Amino acid sequence: MKCDFLVVGSGIAGLSFAIRAASLGTVIIITKKQEIDCATNLAQGGIAAVLSEDDDFKLHIEDTLKSGDGLCDKEVVKMVVEEGPSRVKDLVDIGVGFIRSSDNKDNLSLGKEGGHSRRRVAHAYDLTGKEIERALLEKAKSIDNIQIIENRKCIDLLMDKSDNKNTASKCVGAYVLDEYGIETYLAKYTILCTGGVGKVYLYTSNPDIASGDGVAMAFRAGAKIANMEFIQFHPTCLYHHDAKNFLISEAVRGEGAYLINSKGERFMAKYEPEMMELATRDKVARAIDQEMKETGADCVFLDISHKDKAFLSKRFPNIYGKCQELGIDISEKPIPVVPAAHYLCGGVLTDLHGKSSIDRLFALGETACTGLHGGNRLASNSLLEAVVYAERAFAYIEKQWPAVSNQPFIPADDWKTDKAIDLDEEILINHNWDQLRRIMWNYVGIVRSSRRLGLAAQRVSDMVKEIEQHYNDFHVTANLIELRNIAIVAQLIIQAAQLRKSSRGLHYVKDSVSEESNGLYWNIVTRVKDESEYPWQSELCEQKIID
Ligand code: SIN
């Protein structure tokens, strides 16, 4: 298969880029399951941008920096915030039906979420992601140059090693698994938009596809990876045995919901007396974790029953309907909630145009670490980051395109299957999946300790070796590809968490040493050069000081 642009992932980042890039050449979007199986489709809250008279860039910048706990790249924050309103307008022009204000139909209705000093979240009630995905897919499908191929699992990136240095100089495509075997896709540019890593944890708000494929593939290819210790746990996922990955949007707290523990006590005043339930996510999730540990309860509760039923069913049709289905009338009783892994703030390190440290390889959306989120992402800044960087990547590539477009595709070897046989004991894979996700939840969760991190490092490193052995010995399957990726991502998270000795943002260590004396920094890692002893271990390659 050959295309000018190979886009891996069909969420907001991939589709936004594809729609723009199709004006330059052919685009193939490969997606692991169906085209709508992505985190975008589940996003509830919306997209944050300065969209009202009483807001300004300065305030959005300040809120983002504060939430990021000193670790945001200020230049990036300023750029993303300032480009935000134009990108929201692009979405409106493409046909996204954001809800209009009831007072003035020219304005968008704006929601509020944790850490925001103003109402600035454009939304389609609590189905914002679904609406954005619908409109972008409709647009992408209307463009001849775009081909969307479902049920394709990207296995690894293809590197041009023609310079004989045996280093990853340039990405030239990817190996992809389909239902018949492994195909070689050659591309002039490869864009990783594979979303996050939620499946590394036992409990997550993410869809099943979120197995960190983009981060793991880029890492194996030799790209720089940053800030993996910053895993955001969303404070309020629905706690119910019949609900899987269901979020209770932060917008519910934005409309006045409060958190109570199992004894019926409202507790946020103890932790964040000023911002209360609308403190940033790192703080709210930790407070909930503490309350659950103190009371011994399995969950806390989110109470919005003081609001009118008609308001709730209109403003939150998805949440209202889902809870109703499970026998919880949210206008009458509190909703049982727990924190769950939600968002990766680190990822493939990119520059101001979404370019990774490998030539012709870009990472957009949750897969990337752009510097916008620092140590803790501000609510609803993720969809914003995705559209801003999709546009910037396109603008950068557009400038390179006259020189690149006529270059021949760089040939790559076909996949070699000589020794592989079918794995007849799927239990080996399933057992590892389960173990890994439990280790990460229990040892590398909301509150960490150096002892638990050490134990996790040992156990996961053994698993990485074992899984690599399976990968080498047997035919690859979708399940094995994902397991291999989550194991590597887990290892990256643990290694990053061990590198950061003090607590900051989402990385909270019980026995942390005092604040970093040299101020604030990012740990940037890359694959160790010598793979003979230990496959896929990372080493610190740079410490970026953030002023
Ligand atoms: C939410 O609706 O609470 C999630 C929004 C986000 O992750 O920014």
At residue 427 the predicted structure's pLDDT band, cuts being 50, 70 and 90, is confident
Residue range 374-403: mean pLDDT, rounded = 97
Start-to-end C-alpha separation, the chain: 45
Atom of ligand 1 nearest to the CA of 248: 3
Residue at 454: amino acid letter: G
Answer with the residue of higher pLDDT: 35 or 393.
393
pLDDT tens sequence across 394-422: 999 999 999 999 999 998 888 887 667 88
User: Residue 501 domain-assigned?
Assistant: yes
Query: Residue 544: beta bridge partners?
Result: 522
Of 240, 392, 382, the C-alpha closest to 319 is: 240
At residue 426 the predicted structure's pLDDT band, cuts being 50, 70 and 90, is confident
How far does the centroid of ligand 1 lie from the alpha carbon of residue 22, in Å? Answer: 30
The residue whose CB lies within 8 Å of the most ligand 1 atoms, and thus the one to mutate among 126, 130, 380, is: 380
Q: What percent of the chain has pLDDT over 90?
A: 84
Question: What residues flank ligand 1, with Cβ below 6 Å?
Answer: 44-45, 247, 249-251, 343, 379-380, 382
User: Residue 322 domain-assigned?
Assistant: yes
How far does the centroid of ligand 1 lie from the alpha carbon of residue 382, in Å? Answer: 9
Residue range 249-260: mean pLDDT, rounded = 96
Residues 542 and 433 grouped into a single domain: yes
Residue 492: its pLDDT value, please? Answer: 98
Q: Where are the beta strands (DSSP E) in 227-308?
A: 231-238, 258-260, 300-303
Residue 532: its pLDDT value, please? Answer: 66
Q: At 320, which CATH number?
A: 3.90.700.10
At residue 272 the predicted structure's pLDDT band, cuts being 50, 70 and 90, is very high
Catalogue the active-site residues. Answer: 281
170 neighbors 159 (Cβ within 8 angstroms): yes
pLDDT tens sequence across 48-88: 999 999 999 999 999 999 999 999 999 999 999 999 999 99
Minimal-distance CA residue to ligand 1 atom 8: 380
Domain boundary among 310, 341, 372: 341
Please check the confidence at residue 17 and state whether its pLDDT lies above 90. Answer: yes
Residue range 164-184: mean pLDDT, rounded = 83
Picking from 35-39, 298-302, 365-369, which range would have the lowest pLDDT averaged per residue? 35-39
541 neighbors 524 (Cβ within 8 angstroms): yes
Of 523, 154, 481, 190, the C-alpha closest to 346 is: 523
User: Residue 282 domain-assigned?
Assistant: yes
Residue range 23-46: mean pLDDT, rounded = 91
Residue 41: its pLDDT value, please? Answer: 87
Domain hosting residue 517, numbered range = 427-546
448 neighbors 508 (Cβ within 8 angstroms): yes
Residue at 378: amino acid letter: L
Nearest-angstrom CA–CA distance, 212 and 485? 6
Residue 415: its pLDDT value, please? Answer: 83
**Over the chain, what is the mean pLDDT?**
94
Residue 249: its pLDDT value, please? Answer: 94
How many domains does one find in the chain? Answer: 2
The residue whose CB lies within 8 Å of the most ligand 1 atoms, and thus the one to mutate among 41, 42, 44, is: 44
At residue 531 the predicted structure's pLDDT band, cuts being 50, 70 and 90, is low
How far does the centroid of ligand 1 lie from the alpha carbon of residue 50, in Å? Answer: 17
User: Residue 532 domain-assigned?
Assistant: yes
pLDDT tens sequence across 322-334: 999 999 999 999 9
Domain boundary among 300, 321, 341: 341
Residue 236: its pLDDT value, please? Answer: 97
User: Residue 305 domain-assigned?
Assistant: yes
How far does the centroid of ligand 1 lie from the alpha carbon of residue 113, in Å? Answer: 8
Residue 37: its pLDDT value, please? Answer: 84
Atom of ligand 1 nearest to the CA of 44: 2
Q: At 501, which CATH number?
A: 1.20.58.100
Residue 414: its pLDDT value, please? Answer: 82
Domain boundary among 299, 318, 341: 341
Residue 43: its pLDDT value, please? Answer: 87
The residue whose CB lies within 8 Å of the most ligand 1 atoms, and thus the one to mutate among 63, 110, 123, 234, is: 234
User: Residue 209 domain-assigned?
Assistant: no
Start-end of H helices in 296-380: 309-315, 317-325
Q: Which residue has the tokens 């140059």?
A: 145
Nearest-angstrom CA–CA distance, 192 and 355? 10
Residue range 316-341: mean pLDDT, rounded = 97
Residue 517: its pLDDT value, please? Answer: 54
Residue 163: its pLDDT value, please? Answer: 59
Residue 214: its pLDDT value, please? Answer: 98
Atom of ligand 1 nearest to the CA of 379: 8
Q: What percent of the chain has pLDDT over 70?
A: 97
User: Residue 307 domain-assigned?
Assistant: yes
Residues 432 and 336 grouped into a single domain: no
Please check the confidence at residue 254 and state whether its pLDDT lies above 90. Answer: yes
Please check the confidence at residue 184 and state whether its pLDDT lies above 60. Answer: yes
Atom of ligand 1 nearest to the CA of 45: 2
Nearest-angstrom CA–CA distance, 231 and 152? 27
Residue 338 vs residues 41, 342, 457, 532: alpha-carbon distances, Å: 21, 12, 26, 42
Return the top range by mean pLDDT from 205-209, 356-360, 529-533, 537-541.
Answer: 356-360
Residue 518: its pLDDT value, please? Answer: 52
The helix (H) or strand (E) run that includes residue 47 is strand 47-48
Residue 540: its pLDDT value, please? Answer: 93
What percentage of the chain's residues is helix, strand, coil (to nearest 5)? 40, 20, 40
User: Residue 451 domain-assigned?
Assistant: yes
Residue 523: its pLDDT value, please? Answer: 94
Who's near 523: CB < 8 A, 6+ residues apart? 226, 227, 229, 496, 499, 500, 540, 543
How far does the centroid of ligand 1 lie from the alpha carbon of residue 342, in Å? Answer: 9
Residue range 181-209: mean pLDDT, rounded = 95
Residues 540 and 431 grouped into a single domain: yes
Neighbours of 48 (CB within 10 A): 32
